[in-house]
Amino acid sequence: MSASSDDIKKALETIFDADSKIYQNRGFQRRIGFGSRPALLIIDLANAWTQPGYAFTCDNMDEIIPANQKLLKAARDKKIPVVYTTTAYQDPSGPNSDTGLWHLKIPVETVREGTEAAEIDSRIAPIDGEQVICKKRASAFHGTYLAGYLRAHRVDTLIITGVTLAGCVRHSTEDAIAEGFRPIVVREGVGDRVPGVVEWNLFDIDAKFGDVEPVDSVLSYLDGIDPFTNT
């Protein structure tokens, strides 16, 4: 982390301390806790976000990728559902573009379906049976089969990682709790492009939408559950 990022983080911690008192006095910052049937949701850790040189490239992959590798190993050991998302488009600049109006705000036209940019980073590549959802909007739930897939597996807890925290991770977390799943956002497993955005959104998500937990706590939880079965 750069010196400027350190300064931003220190300043935010001072603000968060004051904000926490406001939230706590008003009944916020409650804990949703872990359930008994988790799934792992890895949001947009595709090359366009994890590798250098793209418009969407995010920082701190030296922490995010290892955290996700640990979570994937634990998830696979317990045979829990693993779902990845990528965001990509078939015809981003044509007359029948599937980007909607998003291209008016951000360079979504740079990530096309079927290209290397849209592929999940090889360091955390999916294995057979793991779902890869190509979404068109920020939330992993918007216009996808995710909620139905999770309900079919009787999932009650959604462990969430990925990028970007201010966008797709946040909106997926908000939709997760709205759909009846317990969102657990893994602190070391998420990131963004702009200093300060990560800390602020972790604080705000933890206050209102889900629990932010360190990776070690999530690994301990996964270690303590029984392996999934189909019954």
For residues 180-192, one letter each, b for 16 or more C-beta atoms within 10 angstroms of the residue's C-beta and e for the rest, the string is ebbbbbbbbbbbb
Whether 3 is covered by a domain: the verdict is no
Q: Is 59 helix (H, G, I), strand (E, B) or coil?
A: coil
Whether 76 is covered by a domain: the verdict is yes
State pTM to two decimals: 0.90
| Cα distance between residue 216 and residue 137, in whole Å | 31
Which long-range contacts does 57-61 make (Cβ < 8 Å, 24+ apart)?
Answer: 57/193, 58/163, 58/164, 58/191, 58/192, 58/193, 59/191, 59/192, 59/193, 59/195, 60/1, 60/191, 60/198, 61/191
How far does CA 133 lie from the centroid of its chain?
Answer: 13
Query: Which residue has better confidence, 198 or 122?
Result: 122
DSSP 112: B
Range of the domain at 83: 32-224
Domain containing 152 — which CATH number?
3.40.50.850
pLDDT at 1: 46
Whether 229 is covered by a domain: the verdict is no
Query: Which residue has better confidence, 2 or 36?
Result: 36
pLDDT at 4: 60
Taking a C-beta distance cutoff of 8 angstroms, is the pair 77, 69 a contact?
no
Q: Confidence class of residue 122 from pLDDT cuts 50, 70 and 90?
A: very high
Whether 153 is covered by a domain: the verdict is yes
Whether 12 is covered by a domain: the verdict is no
User: Active-site residue among 155, 168, 190, 212?
Assistant: 168
Domain count, the chain: 1
Taking a C-beta distance cutoff of 8 angstroms, is the pair 150, 168 a contact?
no
Whether 92 is covered by a domain: the verdict is yes
Residue 85 has pLDDT above 80, yes or no: yes
| Cα distance between residue 80 and residue 228, in whole Å | 6
| Cα distance between residue 158 and residue 155, in whole Å | 8
Taking a C-beta distance cutoff of 8 angstroms, is the pair 46, 86 a contact?
yes
Q: What is the pLDDT of residues 131-179, one digit of tens each?
A: 999 999 999 999 999 999 999 999 999 999 999 999 999 999 999 999 9
Residue 3 has pLDDT above 70, yes or no: no
134 carries an active-site annotation: no
Burial of 77 (0-12, 13-18, 19+ CB in 10 A): exposed
Whether 230 is covered by a domain: the verdict is no
Whether 25 is covered by a domain: the verdict is no
Q: Confidence class of residue 10 from pLDDT cuts 50, 70 and 90?
A: confident
Alpha-carbon distances, residue 173 vs 26, 43, 108, 138, 211 (angstroms): 22, 11, 21, 11, 10
